[in-house]
A and B are shown apart, each in its own frame.
Chain A
Amino acid sequence: MTVDLSPEQRLFRDTTREFLAGTVPVEKVRALADSAAGFERAWWRRAARLGWTAPMADERSGGGSIPGNPTTDLTLVAEQLGAACAPGPFVTVSAALSGLTCSPDHCGDVIGAVVAGEALISWALYEPGRGLDVLARGGSAADVPLTGTIAAPHAGGYRLTGVKDRVEAADQADLFLVTALGPAGTVQLLVPADTPGVTVSPGWTLDLVRRTGRVSFDEVLLPESAVVHSGAAAVAAVRRQLHTAAVLTAAESVGATGRAMEATVGWLRDRYTFGRPLASYQALKHRMADNKTWLEAARATTYAAAKLVDAGDPGADEAVSVAKSYVGAKTPVIVQDCVQLHGGIGVTWEHDLHLYLRRVTYGRALYGTPEEHRRHITDLIDRAA
């Protein structure tokens, strides 16, 4: 829980939790695991109407958050999503929206359709064989990213070539927000999924209901209007998107870990051995004390980062990396310990623990690993010196 929530934020959080409990209880999540998409479009439209897509958009596109704190509002939703191991493209849609809203007017219709839950957008960032270094600057030009996805000028528009992977909800997306290299450096383009030359191939994802896939762009012809941002504006938008994706992913991991911990406390209390509950053994009590400490720290740092992002604070960049590195490192450790504490049933399909472990492992890998974010923190120290 976080403590300085307004009454509106508490209501938003509670409504979200109730909606999830009613629509995607664990049995439904397990059933959706066998589906192609992992989630239902109708369900996503309902979620959008609940306000999940509104915070990042501005009023003219039908959005608007409880005053002033869009990232915190979405963090509240994300924590509940993680607790439920819920399906859906929430993180990638939120990240894309946070970038789109820093762009000129012509995105208004797209934003409106996404906010209404009618159109799905996904951020195409990663490339095969590369980590987050795809965003690193290459060569002597500060603005030239190391991405291999190229947008070359062609006939008044662009020709886009490259392959993106680890794209969330790739085979459900109507639009891709593609981070690429253009003539002026970093560029982001809006590419409808049905554009000729766009091929989506689904991949395998550890999470039961989150889906990722590979999207290849084979000389895809796009109009000038497909460019959302370029140059410095693109760099800023990409950073904003990464902040959103990292904080929301961390929040999901906090939620999932919180549920795993609740289940484990209950298990330790009810399970007896050698005549007394597991919970009475000091070695296990002490491990749970460590787990609880790390979980509260994970929660604290996630909400602290969200707050700084909302405030546009210069310290937000470091805070996001602090939160994502800490949460990404610790939550899998905590959930693994929960598995161990359950004994043999902890590694069975039938027990729910693997749902949480899948979610936090996915959360460790995407949008910056602990190692990537720790190096970034030191890069910031280096730049400040």
Chain B
Amino acid sequence: MTTDPEPVEDFRARARAWLRDNLPAAPADAGKTDTEEAWDRARQVQRILFDGGFAGICFPKAYGGLGLTSAHQAAFTEESLPYEMPVILNVPTLAICAATLLDLGTEEQKREHLPRVLRGEEIMVQFLSEPSGGSDLAGLTTRAVRDGDRWLLNGSKIWSSGAYAADYGLCLARTNWEVPKHRGLTLFLVPVRAEGVTVQRIRQVTGSTEFCQEFFDDVALPEEAVIGAVDGGWQAASRLLFHERAALGGTSPYTSGARPHLGGDVDRLVALARAGGHWHDPRVREDIGEARAMNVVRDQLIDHITGAVTHGDLPASAGAITRLFSAETAWTQADTAVRIAGSTAATHHPGDPVDTAEVGTDYLFRAAWSLAGGSTEMARNVISERVLGMPREQVADKDVPFNQVPRGRTGG
């Protein structure tokens, strides 16, 4: 016997009232997200959500969630937009790491970790990319060897966002060097504060220290740290990547709350045009119209691809199309801002009407949008191969035992 879930509109009405009575208004600007304070605050707010009965809307009740549908989550997210929400916990903690644990974890692992995640007591990150490479994920060299009834982890990971504030990292390591690369990997749940783990923050060109590099020196892990099967890590990692694509594509049911989407977000371009006296320049007006159009088309494309994949008109790998288009949209924004800022693109004085320092700094970070979450080059491989059916790349390491695969000098 099952009881029907609460109707979505009733849930929405309850959520609206609860949010009004329990959460403060959303801050005017996002503020710095690469501080300990930001993460501590997110944990607090997540706890408030949990205590109020609104955490883990799509997570099973057995693990502290509500066991409801994505329609309920969507309703809650809509109602939550005016309020402060712990959005930095969405990706990767909830939508990628917890989601993967839900898919692949043992009952003990799920009961141990998921309720704590939903209470804001555990923050999770991914340890995937390495200094020796990110695109060739299966070619990683961080290694775990058996030592009695435990594993010893050695190596290094990089580009982990928020690792300095995390409790656990889902870490992909090599456990078998004698088989081809995909067959010798294992996914481990690594406590970030374990002995032997060093987290180093990386300073980006923008000054942000969101990203980290981690070093593992004989980090001891119990048997229970293995997620999925030993040497079955590639399948586990594929699950992580699947959830990552869903999260970045806006289709994850596990994210709650959202950064307010600033509509066309060409306000800054308009301000730049006015400040520079270019508001009546037809070319500037064309550039702004084009930038606005790109933003609108991007949202339309996401809907179109999501629908096409759901209906089977396009394969699931068509998510790479939206990934590629998102990068192009971001480039357009950065490039157009620099073009409209004109001769002020590289300078700023306090009191200037528009923050041209932000224009220049954003331009420095332009390539981040075509690299983070998978490079646009790899996206083009996926689109051409899996959507258009063109031949796969010829590779030099297919079926080669990993210990015989050539590696470069940088970091490998």
Contact = CB atoms under 8 A, between A and B. Distances in A.
Given A296-B301, A303-B304, A381-B270, A321 B390 contact: no
A299 interface: yes
A268 B384 CA distance: 12
Contacts of B301: 296-297, 300-301
Contact of B292 (A3, A285, A304, A377): A377
B289 A325 contact: yes
A286 B377 contact: yes
A374 interface: yes
A14 interface: no
Interface in A260-277: 265, 268-269, 276-277
A50 interface: no
Contacts of B321: 292-293, 296
Contacts, number: 135
A293 B325 contact: yes
Interface string B303-327: 1110110110110001001001100
Contacts of A313: none
A300 B388 contact: no
B394 A381 contact: no
A28 interface: no
Contacts of B227: none
B389 interface: yes
A265 B389 CA distance: 9
A319 B296 contact: yes
Contacts of A3: 304, 307-308, 310-311, 313
Most buried by B among A265, A276, A289: A289
Interface in A311-344: 318-319, 321-322, 325-326, 329
B297 interface: yes
A375 interface: yes
Given A286-B380, A299-B304, A300-B300, A374 B385 contact: no
Contact of B308 (A1, A269, A326): A1
Interface in A277-299: 277, 279-280, 282, 285-286, 288-290, 292-293, 296-297, 299
Given A279-B390, A301-B300, A289 B324 contact: yes
A326 B201 CA distance: 41
Nearest to A297: B301
B368 interface: no
B286 interface: yes
A303 B388 CA distance: 22
A376 interface: yes
Contacts of B318: 296
Contacts of A296: 301, 304-305, 314, 318, 321
B188 to A, nearest CB: 34
Contacts of A286: 377, 380-381, 384
B296 A373 contact: no
B390 to A, nearest CB: 4
A289 B379 contact: yes
B121 to A, nearest CB: 41
A285 B387 CA distance: 11
Contact of A381 (B266, B304, B307): B266
A374 B293 contact: yes
A40 B274 CA distance: 54
A378 B286 CA distance: 7
Given A1-B313, A292-B321, A301 B285 contact: no
A2 interface: yes
B307 A280 contact: no
A376 B287 CA distance: 11
For B289, B296, B308, B318, the residue with the greatest tally of chain A CB atoms inside 10 Å of its CB is B289
B391 A280 contact: yes
B380 A374 contact: no
A4 interface: yes
A371 interface: yes
Q: Is the interface on chain A under 10, 10 to 19, 20 to 34, or 35 or more residues?
A: 35 or more
B334 interface: no
Residue of A292, A318, A319, A378 with most chain B CB atoms under a 10 A cut-off: A378
Interface in B154-171: none
B406 interface: no
Given A280-B390, A297-B297, A285 B381 contact: yes
Interface string B357-371: 000000000000000
Contacts of A269: 389-390
B282 interface: yes
Given A3-B311, A377-B293, A288 B282 contact: no
A23 B285 CA distance: 45
Contacts of B118: none
Nearest to A1: B313
Contacts of A381: 264, 266, 270, 288, 292
B195 interface: no
A376 B389 contact: no
Nearest to A294: B325
A375 B273 CA distance: 14
B304 A285 contact: no
A290 to B, nearest CB: 7
B223 interface: no
A289 B388 contact: yes
Given A300-B300, A322-B296, A288 B290 contact: no
Interface of B: 264, 266, 270, 282, 285-290, 292-294, 296-298, 300-301, 303-305, 307-308, 310-311, 313-314, 318, 321, 324-325, 328, 377, 379-385, 387-391, 393-394
Q: Which 8 A-B pairs have the closest CB atoms?
A: A374-B289, A300-B304, A3-B307, A285-B384, A377-B289, A289-B380, A289-B383, A378-B285
6 contacts: A304-B300, A325-B290, A329-B290, A371-B286, A375-B282, A377-B292
Interface of A: 1-4, 265, 268-269, 276-277, 279-280, 282, 285-286, 288-290, 292-293, 296-297, 299-301, 303-304, 318-319, 321-322, 325-326, 329, 370-371, 373-379, 381, 385
Given A290-B324, A301-B301, 16 more contacts: A3-B304, A3-B311, A265-B388, A282-B381, A282-B393, A285-B388, A286-B381, A288-B383, A289-B324, A289-B388, A293-B328, A297-B300, A318-B296, A321-B293, A325-B289, A375-B282
